[in-house]
Structure 1
Amino acid sequence: MKYVVTNEWLANRLNDEQVRIIDCRYYMGDASRGLKEYIRGHIPGALYFDLEIDLSAPAGEHGGRHPLPNMDEFIEKLSTAGIDKQTIVVAYDSQASSMASRFWWMLRYLGHEQVYVLDGGYENWVEESYPVTTDVPLFPRKTFVANIQPQIVATVEDVREAMKNKTALLIDSREPKRYLGIEEPIDRVAGHIPSAKNYFWREGLTEDGHWKKSIEQEQRFADIPKDQAVIVYCGSGVTACPNVLALTEAGYTNVRLYVGSWSDWISYPENPIAAGKNE
C-alpha cells in the first residue's frame, strides 16, 4: 500500500534522521490517557501529538467537534518537531489508525506527501517485540513550509450542493446504527445527511487492526466509479480519515473530507436530516 508502512519497514529506519515518528494515541472520553500511555512507553524517537490540543481547535457554534486547528500554530509545532519537506513522517495510534489517519490527512492538506500510517498500530508493534522506550526525544528545529491543498476539503456548502445536485457522492463513515439513526451516543441529533451512503470506516481494516490490501479496498468501493467525486464525513472529521486513506489506496483521486462532518451539519437548523435506509 502506498501510505501504509509495516513494523519491519519502520524498525529498519529508527536511526534515520530523515524519519520522524508521531504518536497519536487518544481515547474519546478520557482525554489524558493517550499522553499517559505515551509517557509509559512509545516507539523510539516518537513525539506525541494530541487530537484535542494539536490536531483540533476548540469547538464553536459551527465547525463540528474537531475543527482544524490554527494552521500557523500547527505548522510551528511541525517545525519544532524537526519536520520539513524532506522529512518522512510515520504516524501511529492504538485506535485502529483513526487518529493516525487524521494526522496523515492533515499533513496531506498541508502539501506533505511523505507521510504514512503504521500498519497495526502500537499494540502490534509491541506484540511483535519491537523496541519501546520512555525517552522523550528532542530534535533540531526545521522549517515546515506549507503548500495548502484546498481541493481535498469540503465545506458545508459543498455538501449541500452534493446533496441537492449530486455533484459528489457523500460517504458516511460511522457505524451503521448511527448512520441509520437507531442510536446516537455522541451528537445531539441522530441520522445522516440525505443521499449519503454508509461505508463504515472500520471495514477498511481487519479485525486485528491491519489495513486491508489495496485490492480489498477496491472491492469495498466497487460500486463507486473511479472518476466519481467523493466527499467523506463521520461524526467530527476524525474517523472519516481512514476512509479517505482507504479510498486513496483504492485509486480514487477526487476525494474530499468534510472536516466538520455530522456534528457541523446538525449545527445548522435548516440542514435536512435523513434516517433509516436512503430514500
Structure 2
Amino acid sequence: MFPCIQIEAFFSDAGSDVTPGTVSIDWLKQRIDSDESENIRVLDVTWYSAKDAYPEYLKAHIPGAAWFDIMRDVTHTQLRLRNLPEPEVFERQVRGVGVDGDTHVIVYDSQGQGGCFVGGRAWWMFKFFGHEKVSVLNGGLQKWTAEGVRTTQTIPTYQEGNFAVGYNPRINKLHADMMANFEKKCFQVCDSRAVEKFSAGHYPEAINIPFAAMLLDKDTNSMKTREQLLKVFVEAGVDITRPLVTMCNSGMSSCSLLLAAYKCGNTDASVYHGGYNEWKTLATSPQMIEHT
C-alpha cells in the first residue's frame, strides 16, 4: 500500500502573487472596460451532458470570451464517466484560444449553479494540467447578465499561445490512494453529492457537503464567501487545516468543493476524479461501501 505522505502545501489565499480561486463580476468588468485585460483570457466553458452548449455561446457571451469545450475529444470509460482529455489535446485547445504560460485564465459557465459547477471542473482541469493562473468568475454568465453588464455575439480570434501542458499529481487522487486511506486514514474525505445519493452509498467515513445545498448563496447567485464556506466546513465536522480529498460520482461537483476548500485557504487538498462510481465498481467487500 502507499504510505501516508504529507503533501507539500500549494493551496493558499495568502500572498499577493497567489491567483484567487474566484473573481467577481465587478473585478472582470473593470478590467474589460479599462483595457487592463491584455494578459487575461476569458473562456466560456459551459457544458451539458444532454445538449450542445455552443449555440448559447453564439447567442450571448462576455466580450472577448473564447469558446472552450471541456469535453472535446474526451473518451469516457466505465470507471471514468467524465474523463479528462489527453494532454496533447488539452494543450492544443488551450493554445488555440491564445493562452500563454503566464496568462490569467478566467473560466465561466452559463448554466447557473453559481457559475461554479462546470466552471469548477474547468478550474481543476487547468490546475491538473499545470496551469496555476486560473480563476472562476463567481456567478457566471447568469449573474453577469442579471447585473446588466453587456454581452456580445462577436467571436474573438487570438494568436496561438505558447501554453505547455504539464501534470500536477498533488491535485488528483487515484483509486490506490483511496485504498490506502481506507486502511490508514491519511486524509479527510468530503462527498459533494446530494444527501439522498450519499445516503444510498458512500466512501466509508466520508463527510457529506452537498454542492448545491451548502456551497451556493441563492440570494447572490454565486458561491458563498470565504467566511460562509468556513462555517459550512466547520459545521460539517471538517478540519480545513488538515489534508482533504473531495469526491462526487464522476469528478464534476467535487471540483467545486475543492474550489471552496481553496477559497478557505486549504493547503493540502485534491479531487478523487474516479469518484464514487469508480469506488463502488472496484469495491471488493461490503465494508468498502457505507450507508447512512
Aligned-partner SS, 2:72 = coil
Distance 1:147 1:26, change over 3 A: closer
Residue 146 of structure 1: how far off its partner (Å): 3.2
Task: Identify the residue that residue 244 of structure 2 maps to in structure 1.
Answer: 230
Task: Identify the residue that residue 267 of structure 1 maps to in structure 2.
Answer: 281
- How far apart in 1 are the matches of 2:241 and 2:137? 28
Aligned counterpart for 2:254 among listed residues 240, 254, 261: 240
Task: Identify the residue that residue 226 of structure 2 maps to in structure 1.
Answer: 214
Task: Identify the residue that residue 21 of structure 2 maps to in structure 1.
Answer: 3
Aligned amino acid, residue 272 of structure 2: Y
Aligned counterpart for 1:192 among listed residues 202, 211, 231: 202
Residue 112 of structure 1: how far off its partner (Å): 2.0
Q: Is the 8 A contact 2:90 2:165 kept in 1?
A: no
- How far apart in 2 are the matches of 1:113 and 1:155? 21
Moved more, 217-226 or 171-180: 217-226
Aligned amino acid, residue 136 of structure 1: I
Task: Identify the residue that residue 144 of structure 1 maps to in structure 2.
Answer: 163
Q: Is the 8 A contact 2:202 2:290 kept in 1?
A: yes
Aligned amino acid, residue 209 of structure 2: Y
Q: Return the structure number with greater helix share.
A: 2
Task: Identify the residue that residue 184 of structure 1 maps to in structure 2.
Answer: none
Aligned-partner SS, 1:232 = strand
- How far apart in 2 are the matches of 1:260 and 1:98? 17
**Gaps (5+ residues) in structure 2?**
1-12, 14-19
**TM-score relative to the length of structure 2:** 0.85
1:88-138 superposed Cα distances (whole Å, 9 cap, x missing partner): 111111232110111111112233222111111111111111111111111
Q: Is the 8 A contact 2:121 2:255 kept in 1?
A: yes
Task: Identify the residue that residue 86 of structure 1 maps to in structure 2.
Answer: 102
Aligned amino acid, residue 230 of structure 2: E
- How far apart in 1 are the matches of 2:194 and 2:57? 28
Matches within 5 A, 1:31-180: 31-32=51-52, 34-53=53-72, 57-62=74-79, 64-93=80-109, 94-96=111-113, 97-180=116-199
Number of equivalenced pairs: 262
Residue 269 of structure 1: how far off its partner (Å): 4.6
**Gaps (5+ residues) in structure 1?**
182-190
The answer on 1:25 being equivalent to 2:46 is yes
Aligned amino acid, residue 256 of structure 1: S
Q: Quick one: percent identity of the two aligned structures?
A: 27
